[in-house]
Amino acid sequence: MRSAAIISKPDKPELYRIIPELLRWLQERDYRVYLDEETAIYAQGHHTDHQTHPRRDLASFGPEFVVVLGGDGTLLSAARALAHKSIPIIAVNVGSLGFLTEVPLAEMYPTLEAVDAGQCPLESRAMVHCDLVRNGQAVGEFDALNDAVVNKSTIARLVSIDVYIEGTFVSNYLADGVIISTPTGSTAYSLAAGGPILTPSVDGFVITPVSPHSLTHRPLVVRDSATIDLVYRSAEEAFLSIDGQVGMPVVEGDHVRCSKSSATVQLFRIRKSFFEVLRSKLKWGQR
């Protein structure tokens, strides 16, 4: 039997209608269906056959694909849970801006038909791997699809961060924080902080200071084969944020070591090019 999984955003009332219909569609085509615990809530009271598991465990069941219903935040969470198994994702936009969740709800079933028939192209997205090293020991490790950010924890104070690339000192940044962004994440926090937009196929990372004290500190693009070290130099505690969703505190002397992850995110793509998405989401001028 073939298998698929569904991951969705909590507190979306329209999913009480969407999820049961999607379950029936999959089961009529002989898919065994796995739901994460958030999604199972929307299936209660319906006589549908499915299994419920924590989101972090879904990849272990080896579904052929996962339907993600929500916005980019839901997709980022799902991507981190699935990337180490390279399970393809159909990212369906349910009522949000959605740079990554490009499949409109109205096109979900045509997209599923194409996936079911093996006729929907896949796009691979790179991730950044981060180790938080304290006193020579790794105390945390993460993979991010969008970005890893070292941010100040207090409102008034700037933080001091040394940046090294391949062991070579670049600069000390006195700023609100520093962002290490993938090409996918270049349209997220890094863009808001003044960073450039990278197309998804670019083999690079963006290092973007957040509100730097020196106006000459500008975003920097490096190859993704490079290792980037952020050394935290302030006495006040800061925070390492992964995709704006998870993370841990950073203290003076900590190293945040970033490199290209061995995991990749596989996204089913529909007809839109990356530039069509930019024109639509950023309201760029049309011809």
Model pTM score: 0.93
For residue range 79-103, what is the model confidence (pLDDT) as tens digits?
Answer: 999 999 999 999 999 976 678 888 9
Rounded to an integer, what distance in angstroms lies between the CA atom of residue 196 and that of residue 138? 31
Rounded to an integer, what distance in angstroms lies between the CA atom of residue 43 and that of residue 105? 18
For residue range 140-194, what is the model confidence (pLDDT) as tens digits?
Answer: 999 999 999 999 987 768 999 999 999 999 999 999 999 999 999 999 999 999 9
Q: Is 30 a catalytic residue?
A: no
Go through the domains of the chain in sequence order and give each one's CATH number.
2-121+269-281 (3.40.50.10330), 127-262 (2.60.200.30)
Catalytic residue among 36, 72, 147, 254: 72
